[in-house]
């Protein structure tokens, strides 16, 4: 049965990509009719959205749909595919705020347009041009996410129900993003604060709310018990997902993650892992770690030293145990009678894929 679920996931991913490609082709026609200078915008967003990406948010929306007992249609697949455009907005802006150079092994959008400025010997500052372009492309992706959902041709009842959650999800995402930015300026590290950021910036937005969107598209009315059950499944899973991301940000294989080794150390990210590490360290090692966190010029040798400090603190083991606890809590919710039995294997498989990944 696991093979069947895996096949279904790959088929849904393919359908999502197809709907995105169709939508983007229409937008390219419109934008290039405005000005040929917009071709690089279309090219960059095509590459960003169509080359790679796990499609997790549409897949969890699909999981919510089948948990409601509904069956997918092309219109529904198009509606949930719009979540990839919202994700594009979040990633483009996130890379800009974090000053990340790469995304999936390629230049981040702000670096891509900075390079474009330089290659065409344009006037002005290349860095400023790249940053401005990233803000605008992220905003454009946000507008497109609404437009793709609104023009998906799902029923009016389903669309209105989806919008209520869609709006709430975006508010939560922006709140989490702001808390993440603010956390960088805090004088102390806190595992509790970092876990709250993980919940709002990633967990709810990646898993719980997409589940809800899929569920209300499939069952627009009388769904409170289903939504509550999906929250009990999605919230702990979302936190476990982000904790895995934190581990990969420091210990992930660059050839798999598409990010430089130890990138979170260079960016000085205030993750749960780092907070737990600092809580466990003695003064000497704590000072050593704090002295190098956020230094963009960290050498591979220094990164390896910092990794050793983090591992020896016991924080990695604590985070792994927390991931396991949260995952088990999530999986136990699948048996809730409000969740359609035919969806349980899919929910189990996608949950384990989210927390046991290497990228």
pTM of the full predicted structure?
A: 0.93
Give the pLDDT confidence score for residue 254 in this predicted structure.
84
pLDDT (tens digit per residue) in 35-60 = 999 999 999 999 999 998 899 999 99
Write out the residue range of the structural domain in which residue 34 sits.
2-355
Q: Which of 98-107, 117-126, 227-236 is predicted least confidently?
A: 98-107
pLDDT for residue 256: 78
Dist. CA 334–CA 309, nearest whole Å: 38
pLDDT at 11: 96
149 contacts 82 by C-beta, under 8 angstroms: yes
Q: Supply the mean pLDDT for the chain.
A: 94
Percent of the chain with pLDDT over 90: 83
More confident residue, 259 or 58: 58
* Token code pair at residue 186: 């805090």
Nearest to 269 by CA among 251, 253, 237, 246: 246
Is the pLDDT assigned to residue 202 strictly greater than 90? no
- 201 has a pLDDT exceeding 70: yes
Take residue 295 and report the two structure tokens written for it.
Answer: 């230094």
Backbone angles phi, psi at 303, to 5 degrees: -60, -40
For residue 1, what pLDDT is reported?
Answer: 61
What are the helix and strand counts (H, E) for the chain? 18, 2
Amino acid 100: pLDDT: 86
Question: Which of 251-255, 272-276, 301-305, 312-316 has the lowest average pLDDT?
Answer: 251-255
3-class DSSP state of 63 = helix
Length of the chain: 359
User: How many independent structural domains does the chain possess?
Assistant: 1
What is the CATH classification number for the domain harbouring 62?
A: 1.10.600.10
339-358: per-residue pLDDT in tens?
A: 999 999 999 999 999 998 87
């Amino acid at each position: 049965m696991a093979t069947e679920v895996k096949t279904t996931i790959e088929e849904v991913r393919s359908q999502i990509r197809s709907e995105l490609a169709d939508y983007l082709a229409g937008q390219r026609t419109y934008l290039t009719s405005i000005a040929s200078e917009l071709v690089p915008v279309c090219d960059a967003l095509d590459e960003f959205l169509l080359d790679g990406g796990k499609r997790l948010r549409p897949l969890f929306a699909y999981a919510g749909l089948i948990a409601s007992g509904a069956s997918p249609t092309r219109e529904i697949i198009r509606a949930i595919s719009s979540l990839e455009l919202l994700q594009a907005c979040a990633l483009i802006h996130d890379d800009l705020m974090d000053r990340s150079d790469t995304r999936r092994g390629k230049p981040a959008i702000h670096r891509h347009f900075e390079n474009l400025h330089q290659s065409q010997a344009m006037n002005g500052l290349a860095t400023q041009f790249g940053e401005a372009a990233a803000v605008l492309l992220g905003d454009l992706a946000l507008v497109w996410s609404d437009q793709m959902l609104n023009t998906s041709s799902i029923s009016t009842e389903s669309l209105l129900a989806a919008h209520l959650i869609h709006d709430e999800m975006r508010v939560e995402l922006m709140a989490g993003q702001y808390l993440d930015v603010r956390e960088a300026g805090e004088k102390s590290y806190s595992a509790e604060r970092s876990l709250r950021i993980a919940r709002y910036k990633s967990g709810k937005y990646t898993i719980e709310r997409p589940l809800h969107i899929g569920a209300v598209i499939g069952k627009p009315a009388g769904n409170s018990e289903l939504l509550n059950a999906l929250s009990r499944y999605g919230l702990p899973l979302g936190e476990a997902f982000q904790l895995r991301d934190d581990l990969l940000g420091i210990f992930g294989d660059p050839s798999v993650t598409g990010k430089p080794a130890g990138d979170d150390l260079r960016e000085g990210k205030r993750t749960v892992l780092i907070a737990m590490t600092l809580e466990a360290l003695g003064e000497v090692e704590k000072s050593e770690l704090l002295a190098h966190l956020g230094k963009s010029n960290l050498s591979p040798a220094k990164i390896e030293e910092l990794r050793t400090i983090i591992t020896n603190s016991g924080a990695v083991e604590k985070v792994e145990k927390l991931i396991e606890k949260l995952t088990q809590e999530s999986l136990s919710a699948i048996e809730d009678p409000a969740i359609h039995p035919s969806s349980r294997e899919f929910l189990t498989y996608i949950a384990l894929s989210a927390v046991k990944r290497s990228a």
